Amino acid sequence: MTVASLGGIVRTVHIVLGTLSLANPGGTESYCLTIARELDRLGHPVTLIAHDLGPLADRAAEGGFDVAHDSSELPATCDAVLANDAISVGLLGERYPDARLVYCMHNTRHDWQQPPLAPSLIDAIVAPSERFAAHACALALDVPIIRLTQPIDTERFAPSQPLRSPPRRALMLGNYLDGRRRDALLETWTEAGLQCLQIGTGGHLAFDVRPYIAEADIVVGKARAALEGMACGKAVYVFDAFGGDGWVRAESYPALEADNFAGLATGRQIQRRDLTADLDGYDPDMGWVNRDLVLQHHDARSHVQRLLEVLRGPAGRRRESPSSHAAIARSLRTTWRAQLRADAIAREAERAVDAARAEAKRARDEASARTAELDALRSRALEAEQALQEASQLIATRRVRAGLALGRCLDRIRGRA
């Protein structure tokens, strides 16, 4: 990158970084904190704001990040807004109508995870995967789309020890793997001798996952979780609630990266037998190969340098009134909360069904065991009864024979007398 590539302008950029949540760890949250850390290291002031704050925001503030708890704590002006959801676009677009507004796409599943389809509202879209870029191209928007790779802090996420062969520990890292898919992996790999631990919403919640990654030989996950495992020099198995592509290898990396390591790149339908067979393909050399791939393609500093080119561009002229932007944001926020409740209810229902199935299976197994025990007791009772009858018959026979013999003896005695 040269000064000329920036149009001859080198300046400090004041950035407001908006996201939906800074409550608990997640992929988007990890991206925002990684970007904020690198921008700060380059001397560009960053203010973080989220609609849902929690322990993660508190830890970020303790770590030196500038976290605004509400709009009153935001700076009066800024040069650029980096929004990570549609709600942030609306609210920050209203707050900073003259700032350059860049949208970073992290998912395509929900409306609030894509930019609002309003003309001249955003100035550019950053797409951290080919799948996201294709989705952005399909939107009814006339904005440039900048393809970047996911950024990973390769100093924080670094190897700690070589991988063991055979592997001893597997870490399921993420917030979505649960239910029967999780149970299938846990059961098959535990039977194969691995210790398995889950970190995320479905298991133990950790704000710093590095110690858990360090203890593992295999990291199971998707998206940024997979990349963080790769950066730490671990063998990475892409498998989650939405799909699975198996091991990350040098030859599979391009397709998996284009898919954002979401488990949808190969069209595989991983079943229990595949989980067992794939484990045989574990190779401790995958660890350092994965580390090299992250260093070459996902270094956070390189990502932020290119991101700054986007953030330093000119701000477009807003054609819609700021109030409409805020209205869009409020509507999407309501939709998002409803979706969260629906997802939570669906997950709880699935857990209840799985628990009921497990309880029914235990009851069937217990009834079957009791039936087998009862059949065994009946068989033993019949055998004992038969033995008793045979013994009785034998005793009776012996008594008759003994009586006849005694009678003959008495007859002889009487005859002699």
pLDDT digits (tens, 9 = 90+) for 309-326: 999 988 776 555 555 566
For residue 110, the model assigns a pLDDT of 81
Q: Considering the entire predicted model, what is its pTM?
A: 0.76
3-state secondary structure the chain: CCCHHHCCCCCCCCEEEEEEEECCCCHHHHHHHHHHHHHHHCCCCEEEEEEEECHHHHHHHHCCCEEECCHHHCCCCCCEEEECCHHHHHHHHHHCCCCEEEEECCCCCCHHHCCCCCCCCCCEEEECCHHHHHHHHHCCCCCCEEECCCCECCCCCCCCCCCCCCCCEEEEECCCCCHHHHHHHHHHHHHCCCEEEEECCCCECCCCCHHHHHHCCEEEECHHHHHHHHHCCCEEEEEECCEEEEECCCCCHHHHHHCCCCCCCCCCCCCHHHHHHHHCCCCCCHHHHHHHHHHHHCEHHHHHHHHHHHHCCCCCCCCCCHHHHHHHHHHHHHHHHHHHHHHHHHHHHHHHHHHHHHHHHHHHHHHHHHHHHHHHHHHHHHHHHHHHHHHHHHHHHHHHHHHHHHHHHHHHHHHHC
pLDDT digits (tens, 9 = 90+) for 86-102: 999 989 999 999 999 99
Per-residue pLDDT tens digits for 214-271: 999 999 999 999 999 999 999 999 999 989 999 999 999 999 999 999 999 999 999 9
